[in-house]
């Protein structure tokens, strides 16, 4: 099938801007992988002597590559640093030509179509009918969660990066920050939002936050990080990389005495590399049954085995204990975000916590978040994602909303 006439017209109308800003050589491999151009097309484009001539050749080829070529072209533009503004320009022109509201963009999931707004986030209160019976008789394995507020919550929201950083602006991250703010307010936390910080300011504020004396009278702490990232690190707005271990170290037993033995919950929405999950067919699964394991079983596997030391003392705990790091994606892979609704991870996290915080512990809810993101969210080209919680908790975490 031929390319839609509206798509051709939008490309033609934006020829000058596209020719000026396109970086064709950076796009070719992705365009070929997505089926937007052929191998011969790449050779033709590379044979041109200047970037501008290469851009003109690419714009001559794309309209000849079928009905899906325009969307695939836009999809690739969204993925490349310095090119996303071109994809937004093309999509906005398409929507203007339709005469109605903008549709979902390239990283929009088919599930959770309505944007969560703070006014729509209401956490269901604790219902003792649905709490595990063992919870009542085994409180030693549950963190104390009775203080009002439950703890302090810090949301780090980096959206606008310096030009020198060569990083895209994070459209949709403000929606994440608003939704998380409302969620943790409903879970009885005092919330602070830190926006667009440089490396030096971020480290200064993190250590100030970790040292606040209020932690002594509260039962937990929450930190949400929304930014660009690389394996084991996040970007600050000045383009510097901060190791996540440096951020969490501020809260460990050596540096934050008020937080020893209390759950320290980190929720991290950031890429952890450049790989893209292309998904796998469920036809390859041998069994049609899905086994839902209890949280106790999951924690048993995480902490299976016993180690003994020569010391008989149990008066101390490991400095790095009692942490939960809920990453939005697995190591090495990208993390998807919708430019209006926010990230897949935070959308799913808010919905699951709204529904189940009154009856399930955090680890079990994060398993639900994994399943929701994995099954219900995908990009234009069926690209997928699965979150990756790292559990160093020593007990179960229940929020007990409403109590």
- 157 forms beta bridges with 195, 226
Q: What is the CA radius of gyration of the chain?
A: 24
- The CA distances from residue 29 to 74, 132, 231, 377, 384, in Å, are 14, 52, 23, 25, 20
On the 0-12 / 13-18 / 19+ scale of CB atoms within 10 A, 288 is exposed
Active-site residue, from 7, 188, 215, 228 = 228
Query: How far is the CA of 100 from the CAs of 43, 93, 94, in angstroms?
Result: 39, 11, 10
Contacts 24+ apart (CB under 8 A), 240-249: 240/198, 240/199, 242/199, 242/202, 242/203, 244/268, 244/325, 246/203, 247/202, 247/206, 247/223, 248/323, 248/325
Q: Is 215 a catalytic residue?
A: no
Q: CB of 37 within 8 A of CB of 62? A: yes
Nearest to 393 by CA among 216, 266, 294, 212: 266
**Exposed, middle or buried: residue 328 (CB in 10 Å: 0-12, 13-18, 19+)?**
buried
Decide: 158 and 170 in contact? Cβ < 8 Å.
Answer: yes
- Hey, what's the torsion of the CAs at 55, 56, 61, 63, to 10 degrees? 100
- Is the CB of residue 346 less than 8 Å from the CB of residue 179? yes
Query: At 376, which helix (H) or strand (E)?
Result: helix 362-376
Residue pair 242/229 in contact (Cβ under 8 Å)? The answer is no
Of residues 108, 153, 224, 271, which has the active-site annotation?
271
Q: How far apart are CA 313 and CA 79, in angstroms?
A: 53
Q: Is 228 a catalytic residue?
A: yes
Q: What's the CA gap between 202 and 173, in Å, rounded?
A: 18
Dihedral (Cα; 280, 286, 289, 292), 10-degree rounding:
-60
Q: How far apart are CA 2 and CA 14, in angstroms?
A: 20
149 upstream amide cis, omega within 30 of 0: yes
Q: CA 150, CA 218: separation in Å to the nearest integer?
A: 6
Residue recorded with tokens 């509260």: 218
Catalytic (active-site) positions: 228, 271
């Amino acid at each position: 099938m031929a390319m839609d006439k509206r798509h051709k017209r939008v490309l033609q109308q934006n020829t000058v801007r596209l020719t000026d800003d396109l970086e064709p050589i950076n796009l070719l491999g992705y365009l070929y992988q997505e089926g937007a151009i052929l191998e011969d097309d790449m050779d033709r484009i590379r044979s041109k002597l200047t970037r501008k001539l290469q851009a003109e050749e690419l714009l001559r080829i794309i309209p000849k590559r079928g009905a899906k070529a325009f969307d695939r072209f836009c999809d690739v533009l969204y993925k490349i640093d310095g090119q996303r503004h071109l994809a937004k320009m093309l999509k906005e022109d398409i929507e203007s030509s339709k005469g109605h509201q903008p549709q979902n963009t390239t990283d929009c999931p088919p599930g959770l179509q309505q944007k969560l707004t703070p006014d729509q986030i209401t956490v269901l209160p604790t219902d003792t009918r649905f709490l595990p019976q063992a919870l009542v008789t085994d409180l030693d394995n549950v963190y104390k969660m009775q203080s009002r507020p439950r703890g302090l919550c810090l949301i780090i929201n980096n959206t606008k990066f310096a030009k020198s950083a060569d990083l895209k602006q994070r459209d949709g991250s403000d929606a994440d920050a608003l939704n998380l703010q409302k969620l943790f307010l409903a879970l009885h936390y005092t919330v602070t939002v830190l926006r667009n910080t440089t490396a030096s300011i971020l480290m200064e504020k993190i250590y100030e936050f970790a040292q606040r004396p209020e932690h002594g009278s509260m039962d937990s702490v929450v930190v949400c990080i929304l930014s660009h990232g690389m394996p084991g690190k996040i970007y600050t707005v000045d383009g510097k990389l901060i190791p996540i271990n440096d951020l969490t170290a501020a809260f460990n037993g050596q540096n934050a005495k008020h937080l020893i033995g209390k759950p320290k919950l980190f929720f991290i929405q950031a890429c952890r590399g450049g790989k893209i999950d292309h998904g796998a067919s469920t036809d390859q699964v041998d069994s049609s049954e899905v086994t839902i394991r209890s949280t106790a079983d999951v924690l048993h596997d995480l902490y299976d085995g016993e180690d003994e030391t020569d010391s008989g003392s149990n008066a101390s705990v490991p400095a790095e204990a009692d942490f939960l790091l809920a990453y939005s994606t697995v190591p090495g892979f990208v993390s998807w975000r919708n430019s209006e609704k926010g990230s897949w991870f935070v959308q799913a996290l808010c919905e699951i916590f709204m529904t189940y915080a009154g009856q399930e512990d955090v680890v079990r809810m994060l398993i639900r978040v994994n399943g929701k993101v994995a099954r219900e969210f995908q990009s234009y080209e069926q690209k997928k994602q699965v979150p990756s919680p790292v559990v160093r908790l020593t007990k179960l975490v229940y929020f007990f909303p409403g109590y």
